[in-house]
Structure 1
């Protein structure tokens, strides 16, 4: 079932959201200081492309460095990626099939805004 949900997700907006994260990652990697933000963006692109069967949980031991990078991330890329999620959710909610995907897109906004100090883990089973 997760595979079917993921395929519907990719078709109804997941590809474009992942592309947004990839662009943010490439831009962040252009500067040496923001390479960690770029790597986080690439991890998020992977998650946004295929979200069903995975979840986000706090990373143990995340400290002030994560908090500082979250601030930098939000200012540079987090807010406009969150805006992409809102626009995608609005578009997805226009169809009955897309309502579940719209909800998933909205649930991703907190980790989109503040990805540091979190990790993406499998919920078990076959992805």
Structure 2
């Protein structure tokens, strides 16, 4: 099911959102000081291209530098990418088939504002608090 969702996402919105992130990454890599922004943009471009089955987690140890970096990111690239996700989300929510993809785009819009201090991981590898883990069934 993830593959079908990813293929539909790719056709409906994923390719051009990933293209915007790749363009932001290329622009950010022009200057040495903004290369971390470029790396974050390329990482999120991959996520925007193929999001289902993966999730975003907050990286442990992300501190003051990631907060300052996210503020600079919002001023340079984040607000444009946020608006692109918002536009894609609204357009996808108009159709019945696009509702889950519109919701996904709106969830990704937050990531467009604060990409530093996060990681893209497989959905199965995401950390789940110990109090909410279900026991593994014995086979």
User: What interval of TM-score do these two structures reach, taking the shorter chain for normalisation?
Assistant: over 0.9
Q: What is residue 76 of structure 1 aligned with on the other side?
A: 76
State how far apart, in whole Å, the 1-side matches of 2:40 and 2:119 are.
10
Task: Determine helix, strand or coil for the equivalent of 2:33.
Answer: coil
TM-score using structure 2 length: 0.87
Once the 2 structures are TM-superposed, how far is the Cα of residue 22 of structure 1 from its aligned partner?
0.4
**TM-score, with structure 1 as normaliser:** 0.95
Structure 1 consecutive aligned stretches of length 4 or more whose deviation exceeds 2 Å: none
- Counterpart of 2:40? 40
When the two chains are superposed, the root-mean-square deviation of aligned CA atoms in Å is: 1.1
Query: Could you say which structure has the greater relative contact order, defined with CA pairs below 8 angstroms and 6 or more residues apart?
Result: 1
Q: For residue 135 of structure 2, what is the aligned residue in structure 1?
A: none
Structure-1 separation of matches of 2:7 and 2:22: 19
Q: Matches of 1:52 and 1:60 in 2, distance apart?
A: 23
Question: Which has the larger Rg?
Answer: 2
Q: How does 1:1-127 map to 2 (within 5 A)?
A: 1-124=1-124
> Shift of residue 93 of structure 1?
1.7
Instruction: Please give the alpha-carbon distance, in whole angstroms, between the structure 2 residues aligned to 1:124 and 1:7.
Output: 20
Structure 1: gaps of 5 or more residues: none
What are structure 2's unaligned runs of at least 5 residues?
A: 126-139
